[in-house]
Amino acid sequence: MAAWLAGSSSKLAHSAARRLAGDLRRRGPDPWLLSSSTMPARGQLAGDLRGFCSVRRFAGDSTAATAAEESENEFAGGDLQQVVDFPGGKLSFVGEMNFVPESQRERIKCYRVLDDDGGIIYSSRFQEVGKELALKMYSNMVTLQIMDTIFYEAQRQGRISFYITSNGEEAINIASAAALSADDIVLPQYREPGVLLWRGFTPQEFANQLFGNKMDYGKGRQMPIHYGSNRLNYFTISSPIATQLPQAVGAAYSLKMDKKDACAITYFGDGGTSEGDFHAALNFAAVKEAPMIFFCRNNGWAISTPTTEQFRSDGIVTRGQAYGIRSIRVDGNDTLAVYSAVHTAREMAIAEGRPILIEAMTYRVGHHSTSDDSTKYRPADEIEHWRTARDPISRYRKWVQGNGWWCDAEETELRNSVRQEILQAVQAAERIPKHGLAELFTDVYDQVPSNLHEQQRSLLDIIKKHPSDYPTEVNS
């Protein structure tokens, strides 16, 4: 059988060589073939083709052998319908030299359920949301908005050092979180505190992290807004862009290996797709068929860099197909659309063992962070338009209120109670002492090595020499 396989491959290569040589004699040199100015010898050409293309054969009966011979004859006769099983994929052929265009003729459309006035778009297909869930989602969106306002003001007052808001992206936060289960693993970027809020992280826990006090789970070692919770399956945020993406694939693959009825989800912005980790993660997830959701917040800006200076593709959604990943583009300011897309994506990811890419189109109404002034690179009237005319909370409220589930009196009561709760959390967090300096040197080694002891002594000596430069509570 091995001899027959070798002979058949050789015959096929020689037949192809004869055809190609004849074509070259009739047409002359082909400008698209490298070194086409010199006609190779028959033996040399056959050898080159044998290295370029091999036909994969498998042991079988005489029927398989007959089929192989017929395939060879078809190829020799110029039949473009023949299919060859290359090591890189099973392919058919065309006689036309067609380059794949750089983009599709039309942009991929955006999935939407609610119009700008909060009405259901005719013929929209979406996941039904009952009154209890709808009100919980709305309450959390309002809480996130008020929390951002108060914490942002606290930073401006010098009470905390840094903050990032989610203004304009409340629907992405809360609706996506509502569509997940508590067992799903979340690897966030830094604009998803609403996901943590939905899972049960309290305003007091948020405030403790921002002030870095003794009740902060990170012991004051992280920057503000770098939340994390083992209890809530929410990985601690890290500042480097997109590093969480390949980590999320590993987490999702572990869920698959353990046969868990859960998936992993990772969030990132459009700027994160310019990082190599994004591409590595998508390929990793596709090849390993990891049950996970890639959720991209495309708000048009990577700090001050617009998407027009980041990529030439049709946004992010087209990247999925390149890696063999099912993808969808959704209106990120439409609460019902985000909820439905994530709910369906989760079901597909777990039931079919596959990654899903979601591109949520939105707008960052706030500055990138408290270190940024976005009016330096985008018009103030554009920001105001998105803050008012396209606010996801107002749009969703119209739908909730249109169902008879909400009224103005309940709105006032909710906003007043949430504001009081968060203000009290800020006041309490300020009163809780900070960790001592000794905590900087723990939790890495089981036994603290001598070089870290030396660094600690050196730091304390500096503080003693310059006591006015440091708070009094950090000298222990």
Q: Report, as residue numbers or ranges, the catalytic residues.
A: 153, 239, 368-369
Query: What are the counts of helices (DSSP H) followed by strands (DSSP E) for the chain?
Result: 15, 9
Tracing tokens 């070798």 back to the chain, one arrives at 6
Residue 461, SS3?
helix
Token pair for residue 342? Answer: 């994530």
- Bridging pattern class, strands 301-302 and 292-298: unpaired
In this structure, what DSSP letter does residue 234 have? B
Distance CA 132, CA 139 (A): 11
Name the residue type at position 21: A
List, in order, residues 6 or more apart from 78 with CB less than 8 Å away: 19
Q: Are 438 and 456 in contact (CB under 8 A)?
A: yes
- Bridging pattern class, strands 305-306 and 301-302: antiparallel
Distance CA 256, CA 263 (A): 8
Burial readout 156-177 (b: 16 or more C-beta within 10 A, e: otherwise): eeeebeebbbbbbbbbbbbbbb
- Calculate the alpha carbon distances from 59 to 63, 76, 90, 176 in Å: 11, 23, 18, 51
Burial readout 326-335 (b: 16 or more C-beta within 10 A, e: otherwise): bbbbbbbbbb
CA 35 to centroid of chain Cα atoms: 45
- Helical H runs in 53-190? 62-76, 131-156, 170-178
